[in-house]
Chains A and B, each alone.
Chain A
Amino acid sequence: MSLLEVKGLKVAYGGIQAVRGIDLVIEQGELVCLIGANGAGKSSALKGLIGLVQHHGEVRFTGERLNGLPTHAIVAKGMTLVPEGRGIFARLSVAENLDMGAYTRRDVGPVRLDLNRVYDLFPRLAERRAQLAGTLSGGEQQMLALGRAIMARPRLLLLDEPSMGLAPIMVQKIYQTIAEIARDGVTILLVEQNAHLALQVSQRGYVMESGSVVLTGASQALADDPMVKAAYLGE
């Protein structure tokens, strides 16, 4: 049984068809990327999976149908989304943001361990734990968003453009962390406009164009594909 099985996922906003029936399969432990140009429908697909927007089609997570469940219930089942733009709580402290990540968890001991782990990964967050999250720099906010996702101990982590708007050095740090989270056994679906980066860290990928998946395969094969090279890698 695959961790995530999606059949014919559709998302529409009024008359606009953002996602036009896509199929995705993700196995336990994989790091899969979803790439595509601006407006291809990547974010909409993620929002559909986690129930933030109205959608049609079948979404099975750990074999169970998710359709119709509210977002918070899906989150409680082990799916976590780090949204585009990070979505940190600016007027909560860094520590409170991290606490919110563990909102559905009752296992106090392991939560404390995860918190220490986040502070080890990002000492900057530890220094600023009492500070309002809104005062953090963009890169620090992305660290916080990732740290908050770690606090949820998800089975499937959906990441929407974690590199967006960050300086190269910060992008490197964020991607190191993503690789580390993946090594811990967390399954990840990574959405990126930066196809280079995404195809480097992932094992498999999907390419989306105007709401549909047009190509899928091993990341290496995608990186060598002439169409992908021309359209997304600028080669």
Chain B
Amino acid sequence: MDIFVQQLINGLVLGSIYALVALGYTMVYGILELINFAHGEVTMVGAMSALAVIGALLGAYPQAPALLVLPAGVLAAIMVCMALGYVIERVAYRPLRRAPRLAPLITAIGVSIVLQNAAMLIWGRSYISFPAILPHGSHPILGAVITDLQIVIVTLSVLIMLGLTLLVERTRLGRAMRATAQSREVAELMGVNVNTVISATFIIGSALAAIAGVMVSAYYGLGHYYMGFMLGLKAFSAAVLGGIGNLAGAMLGGLLLGVIEALGAGYIGDLTGGFLGSNYQDVFAFMVLILVLVFRPSGLLGERVAQRA
């Protein structure tokens, strides 16, 4: 089997999930210059809600077809996360709109902790496994293997990213979002209800996070109250890598990070003579991040953020 091609495929799959989450970070940063550290936990809540709904449905109707149960789980996750994103902004960030930057940042960390603990209370401390209703076919490709699930994840991600791009570039709401990102005051002067736009941004980002959360738990077959932490950190890194505030940057950053991480994990054993194993893959993400920030502080596609921060 071709390790390079295989890891490339694995990386693209992982990367497209990172990209979905990174978009949420970058959209909020673009408009509020706020790093919503609770965003990773929103993916976790998405995954856990989907697992709960799927589990309940299968418990009640063991023979229910996957094509019904899965979308129901995803839909529930999306609804829960959209509501959660809206509430987080209203309760935790809006009152601090005019406060010094550090205040919402600390609040964001507080929200993460609250969400993690709430999830632990609701769903317990143990891993919840994804029911075996997922497609499990696989296909040979260029000396490697791609599974049905991988194809679904990548296709869905690409479609969602296309949809989001169209929304932001072509619709009235999208234009209002871009205007608000440039100047909240002038956007208001155009008649834009900036609070509505900010709410919409959180809601859309949270919907993407919900889908990404379900994808991750389906891909690894597990859900856990702590799963949002590392995913959030990596997606945030991806957003910074691509240039935070920039949508295309978040997509590129996510994909790159996924690929680098997968290739790194595939070759690290050979590179270090077996001294480091693939369990060090997380290190790569952050090494790359640090390298990029040293040489290009604004990220790959970003403008000079350092000046504004």
Contact = CB atoms under 8 A, between A and B. Distances in A.
Interface of A: 50, 52, 70-72, 75-76, 80-81, 83, 87-92, 96, 99-101, 103-104, 148, 152
B188 A100 contact: no
Nearest to B193: A72
Given A52-B188, A52-B189, A72 B178 contact: no
A81 B188 CA distance: 10
Interface in B160-187: 172, 175-176, 178-179, 182-183, 185-187
Contact of A72 (B172, B182, B194): B194
B222 interface: no
A100 B190 contact: yes
B173 to A, nearest CB: 11
B192 interface: yes
Contacts of A75: 188-191
A76 B193 CA distance: 10
A89 B179 contact: yes
Given A89-B178, A92-B178, A71 B183 contact: no
A87 B186 contact: yes
A70 to B, nearest CB: 7
Contacts of A76: 191
Determine the interface band of chain B, counting residues with CB < 8 A from chain A.
10 to 19
Taking each of A89, A99, A101, which has the highest tally of chain B beta carbons within 10 Å of its own beta carbon?
A: A89
29 contacts: A52-B185, A52-B188, A52-B189, A70-B188, A71-B189, A72-B194, A75-B189, A75-B191, A80-B189, A81-B189, A83-B186, A87-B185, A88-B186, A89-B178, A90-B182, A91-B178, A91-B182, A92-B175, A99-B175, A100-B176, A100-B187, A100-B192, A103-B172, A103-B176, A103-B190, A103-B192, A104-B190, A104-B191, A152-B190
Interface of B: 172, 175-176, 178-179, 182-183, 185-194
A72 B188 contact: yes
Nearest to A50: B189
B100 to A, nearest CB: 16
Nearest to A148: B190
A112 B176 CA distance: 19
Nearest to B194: A72
Which 4 A-B pairs give the minimum distances between C-beta atoms? Answer: A104-B191, A75-B191, A87-B186, A71-B188
A71 B190 CA distance: 9
Nearest to A134: B182
B30 to A, nearest CB: 11
B193 A83 contact: no
A107 to B, nearest CB: 14
